[in-house]
Amino acid sequence: MTTIAIIGAGVTGLTCARRLAEAGLRVTVFDKGRGLGGRLATRRVSGLGRSGAQVAAFDHGVQYVTARGADFTSSLERRAALQAAAVWRPRLSQSRVETPDPAPWHVGTPGMSGLAKSWGADLSIALKTRVERIEPDGSGWRLQFDDGSAQGPYDTVVVSTPPSQALDLLPKGAREPFSAIQDVRVAPCWAGLFAFDPQNGLAATAGFDCWRLEEGGSDDVLVWAAHNTSKPGRVGLEAWVVHAGIAWSVAHLEESPEMVAPVLLEGLGALTGYAAPKPAYQAAHRWRYARTIEPLGKPFLSDRAGSFYVGGDWCLGARVECGFDSGAAIAHAILWDAGLADRRAAG
Ligand SMILES: Cc1cc2nc3c(=O)[nH]c(=O)nc-3n(C[C@H](O)[C@H](O)[C@H](O)COP(=O)(O)OP(=O)(O)OC[C@H]3O[C@@H](n4cnc5c(N)ncnc54)[C@H](O)[C@@H]3O)c2cc1C
């Protein structure tokens, strides 16, 4: 039976793995992270408050998900039926909000990573496993991990990491068509995570749950602020997530989270019109590869033999649905080659 290794347990890798596993192929997913989801992430913090008994949770990557295609729409509907997703209807700020995406805005439950957990249910996934190199091994591929161990050979490998990490994993001497990855541009993003005691919170005075500014429209530090606990199914202290704009994130990329968090908190205070009270928890998270600025323009790249694939949201755009579509297209191409699909994928 065909064996497949997928590097990356974000939406791209999980979608691809799910489709292949459902068709009966033997698939293993490897991810260097501690949990599933990649940028579909939720950070949970405990031991907060005076008693040390309080918790807070933050969706510090993806904020919400919208669907334009029928395939992704029905996947979100299935996740909602499984209680892994719900619709978020935030109060939008009346001040300088970019035209909102068309509703509905879906979020994972009880956190954004709930969506990833649902897509990854029942799959064979090795976490905390960083792939360092992928080498040819007979007619297949062997994975070398950073602890010196190796696994394989696999008949087919799918790399679903951000583009610069994918370049590092290409087999030695790989050129066309993979050189096109170098033209893809992805911007970083600094995220701020803040939790407040409810009696000390911002939600009542702010009067909004979500504020967004068009990128590049001004010199403001922040482009996004969300009252995370207004999303369905969230528990714990009043949590806020803010994102800095691309220009600010690039300019401060190598600063420490300890330096960045107070600046983002000040931005949140200015937005709400009040000096932000002292948070019960504050942190900053650096997303080095956050949002695609210049996509590849097709859903994936593969070698001539159809045994090495590279995909990700960056192939098509900057949204979760782009990763979903890329992963689905790779799965379709693999199934086609295995004689298990009834029509050729679009690209
Ligand atoms: C701050 C922020 C806000 C966003 N907001 C939204 C939003 O509101 N709505 C929306 O639709 N999209 C949003 N996005 C974009 C969205 O996150 C992406 O489009 C989508 O999650 C990409 O999924 P992916 O699977 O392609 O990549 P990722 O989620 O990045 O998954 C790649 C995986 O590869 C793993 N990996 C990398 N290298 C290795 C290695 N060597 N070995 C093993 N594993 C490896 C990583 O750990 C990661 O889990 C946002 C992104 C960020 C960062």
Rounded to whole angstroms, how far apart are CA atoms 70 and 14?
Answer: 18
Q: Which of 30, 31, 32, 39 to mutate to test the pocket of ligand 1 (most atoms within 8 A of CB)?
A: 39
State residue 27's pLDDT score: 98
Angle between helices 70-81 and 320-337 in degrees, nearest 10:
100
pLDDT bucket at 347, cuts 50 / 70 / 90: very low
State residue 153's pLDDT score: 96
The DSSP 8-state label assigned to residue 268 in this structure reads H
For domain 1-34+127-182+298-347, the CATH superfamily is FAD/NAD(P)-binding domain (3.50.50.60)
CA 31–ligand 1 middle distance (angstroms): 12
Question: Nearest C-alpha to atom 25 of ligand 1 is from which residue?
Answer: 10
CA 48–ligand 1 middle distance (angstroms): 28
CA angle 309, 314, 315 (to 5 degrees): 50
Q: Delimit the CATH 3.50.50.60 region(s) of the chain.
A: 1-34+127-182+298-347
Question: Sign of dihedral through CA atoms 3, 117, 239, 268?
Answer: positive
pTM: 0.96
Query: pLDDT tens across 45-103, in order?
Result: 999 987 889 999 999 999 999 999 999 999 999 999 999 999 999 998 866 666 667 77
Q: Which of 60, 228, 253, 320 to mutate to test the pocket of ligand 1 (most atoms within 8 A of CB)?
A: 320
Q: Among the atoms of ligand 1, which is closest to the Cα of residue 321?
A: 11
Rounded to whole angstroms, how far apart are CA atoms 198 and 238?
Answer: 6
Rounded to whole angstroms, how far apart are CA atoms 289 and 291?
Answer: 6
State residue 341's pLDDT score: 83
CA 274–ligand 1 middle distance (angstroms): 33
State residue 181's pLDDT score: 97
Q: Are 252 and 225 in contact (CB under 8 A)?
A: no
Query: pLDDT tens across 56-69, in order?
Result: 999 999 999 999 99
pLDDT at 277 over 60: yes
CA 186–ligand 1 middle distance (angstroms): 11
Strands (DSSP E) contained in 217-263 are 222-227, 238-244
The tokens describing 307, both together, are 């045994």
Which is higher by pLDDT, 343 or 132? 132
Rounded to whole angstroms, how far apart are CA atoms 331 and 115?
Answer: 19
CA 320–ligand 1 middle distance (angstroms): 8
231 CB near ligand 1 (under 6 Å): no
CA 152–ligand 1 middle distance (angstroms): 26
Question: Nearest C-alpha to atom 4 of ligand 1 is from which residue?
Answer: 62
267 CB near ligand 1 (under 6 Å): no
Q: Delimit the CATH 3.90.660.10 region(s) of the chain.
A: 44-113+185-294
Rounded to whole angstroms, how far apart are CA atoms 198 and 201?
Answer: 5
pLDDT at 204 over 90: no
pLDDT at 344 over 60: no
The DSSP 8-state label assigned to residue 315 in this structure reads G
111 CB near ligand 1 (under 6 Å): no
Question: Nearest C-alpha to atom 8 of ligand 1 is from which residue?
Answer: 63
State residue 95's pLDDT score: 67
Cis preceding linkage at 198, omega within 30: no
Comparing CA positions, the residue from 35, 23, 6, 5 lying closest to residue 323 is: 6
Question: What mean pLDDT value characterizes the chain?
Answer: 93
Choose the CATH number for 44-113+185-294 among 3.40.50.300, 2.30.29.30, 3.40.50.20, 3.90.660.10: 3.90.660.10
Query: pLDDT tens across 173-192, in order?
Result: 777 889 999 999 999 999 99
Residue partners of 32: CB distance under 8 A and separation at least 6: 128, 129, 130, 131
State residue 346's pLDDT score: 38
Q: Which of 62, 170, 211, 228 to mutate to test the pocket of ligand 1 (most atoms within 8 A of CB)?
A: 62
CA 292–ligand 1 middle distance (angstroms): 10
Rounded to whole angstroms, how far apart are CA atoms 170 and 60?
Answer: 29
User: Residue 80: is it exposed, middle or buried by C-beta count within 10 angstroms (0-12/13-18/19+)?
Assistant: middle
Q: Are 151 and 142 in contact (CB under 8 A)?
A: yes
Query: pLDDT tens across 296-339, in order?
Result: 999 999 998 889 999 999 999 999 999 999 999 999 999 999 88
The tokens describing 89, both together, are 């209807």
CA 242–ligand 1 middle distance (angstroms): 17
State residue 173's pLDDT score: 79
Q: Left (φ > 0), alpha (ψ -120 to 50) or beta: where does 37 sit?
A: left
State residue 273's pLDDT score: 72
Question: Nearest C-alpha to atom 48 of ligand 1 is from which residue?
Answer: 38
CA 37–ligand 1 middle distance (angstroms): 7
